[in-house]
């Protein structure tokens, strides 16, 4: 394809749109289902007892490329992880793009190649999509929406409302990597050690944990709002307190230093490749071992426990500090790190 940038004609529905679909999208992450060329992908129906899990997300991050990935990696990982938290085996993705006129075609190809690579790693197929092109100055280069479909096996019942006093809280790795990576790139900040995004497809890790700890209560990925917001959501759903030990939460020194310098609370910084897992106490070690055996869970840790909430005040999240005190860990209020995904 001779075009070096995206033009309005690439979203017009004519021959230019056919070129970008055939030569960029289908040529990189195309599948048999996508090649059907129909307005709706025809997919196998679930077996009796199975349920469909479906989720969608839109990605508007800047910069589009950053250490550890790009907007295409986020688009696949974010939706795969959201579907996988239900215990589903993620099967299919849609990829819809809003492109700004003048966006470099080489950058688009790089993003599409990343989509292909991550979808292959996660074992999912891109089966349908959409393309729109807006005038120069009316977008931010590229926005991507992905939707995902998966099958939840019979007997799997994961929910944030399942948490019970005595359960353990596990975290699959270090906090804050993605949010601080994006902020450092956007503001041209440099640190003594490199900071890379943690964006990763975690459906395999979830499957490993479920195999080792079949009574797992729930999974939740601590994206916008970070760990603090995630635990507050789970506590409210189940009507319980969440207690986290500050010293047990894994955080890279360079990320901790960056948060101290910038005035951020690392517990509220976004992550794109981490998973919170609530498991019964007797299955904690099995779940932790399964996480650590996965390449995306090498830094996994048991970070806290679930306790009964005081009915007079309602569920809370508490942080036990290294000084022996306890403070409330609130949800993020407002927007701390804009456009991290």
- Quote the CA–CA distance of 164 and 105 in Å, as a whole number: 51
% of the chain with per-residue pLDDT over 70: 96
* pLDDT per position as a tens digit, 277-303: 999 999 999 999 999 999 999 999 999
- Give, to the nearest 10 degrees, the angle between helix 203-212 and helix 284-293: 150
Q: Would you mind telling me the total number of residues written for the chain in this entry?
A: 341
Mean pLDDT within 128-148:
95
Mean pLDDT, all residues of the chain:
92
- Quote the CA–CA distance of 108 and 131 in Å, as a whole number: 12
**pLDDT category of residue 48 using cuts at 50, 70 and 90:** confident
In the structure, how many helices (H) and strands (E) does the chain have?
Answer: 10, 13
Q: What is the pLDDT of residue 13?
A: 67
CA-based nearest residue to 231, from 148, 284, 189, 168: 168
Among 159-163, 184-188, 291-295, which is the least confidently predicted range? 184-188
> Looking at residue 310, what DSSP letter applies?
P
**pLDDT category of residue 41 using cuts at 50, 70 and 90:** confident
Residue 165, token pair as written in the block? 């006093």
Q: For each of the domains in the chain, give its residue range(s) and CATH number, in order of start.
A: 8-152 (3.30.1330.10), 160-328 (3.90.650.10)
Residue 92's H or E segment, with its range, is strand 89-100
Please state whether 162 falls in left (phi above 0), alpha (psi between -120 and 50) or beta. alpha
Please state whether 291 falls in left (phi above 0), alpha (psi between -120 and 50) or beta. alpha
* The pLDDT of residue 228 is above 80: yes
Strand pairing of 301-308 and 240-245? antiparallel
Q: What is the pLDDT of residue 336?
A: 62
Residue 97, token pair as written in the block? 């793009």
* pLDDT per position as a tens digit, 242-279: 999 999 999 999 999 999 988 889 999 999 999 999 99
């Amino acid at each position: 394809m001779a075009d070096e940038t995206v033009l309005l004609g690439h979203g017009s529905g004519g021959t230019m749109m056919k070129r970008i679909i055939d030569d960029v999208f289908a040529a990189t992450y195309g599948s048999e289902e996508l090649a059907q060329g129909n307005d709706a992908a025809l997919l196998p129906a679930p077996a009796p007892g199975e349920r469909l899990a479906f989720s969608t997300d839109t990605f508007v991050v800047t910069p589009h490329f950053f250490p550890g990935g790009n907007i295409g990696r986020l688009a696949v990982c974010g939706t795969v992880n959201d579907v996988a938290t239900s215990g589903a085996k993620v099967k299919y993705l849609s990829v819809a793009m809003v492109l700004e006129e003048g966006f470099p075609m080489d950058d688009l190809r790089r993003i599409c190649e990343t989509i292909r690579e991550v979808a292959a790693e996660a074992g999912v197929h891109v089966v349908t999509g959409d393309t729109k092109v807006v005038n120069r100055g009316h977008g931010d280069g590229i926005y991507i929406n992905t939707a995902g479909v998966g099958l939840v096996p019979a007997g799997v019942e994961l929910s944030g409302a399942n948490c019970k006093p005595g359960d353990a809280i596990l975290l699959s790795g270090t906090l804050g990597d993605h949010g601080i990576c994006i902020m450092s790139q956007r503001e041209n900040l440099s640190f003594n050690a490199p900071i890379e995004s943690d964006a990763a497809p975690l459906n395999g890790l979830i499957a490993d944990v479920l195999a080792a700890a079949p009574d797992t209560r729930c999974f939740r990925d601590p994206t916008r709002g970070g760990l603090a917001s995630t635990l507050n959501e789970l506590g409210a759903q189940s009507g319980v307190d969440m207690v986290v030990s500050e010293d047990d939460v894994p955080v890279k020194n360079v990320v901790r230093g960056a948060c101290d310098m910038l005035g951020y609370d690392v517990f509220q910084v976004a992550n794109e490749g981490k998973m919170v897992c609530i498991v019964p106490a007797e299955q904690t070690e099995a779940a932790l071992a399964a996480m650590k055996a996965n390449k995306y869970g090498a830094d996994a840790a048991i970070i806290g426990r679930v306790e009964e909430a005081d009915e007079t005040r309602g569920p809370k999240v508490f942080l036990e500090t290294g000084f022996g005190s306890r403070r409330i860990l609130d949800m993020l209020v407002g927007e701390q790190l804009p456009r991290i995904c």
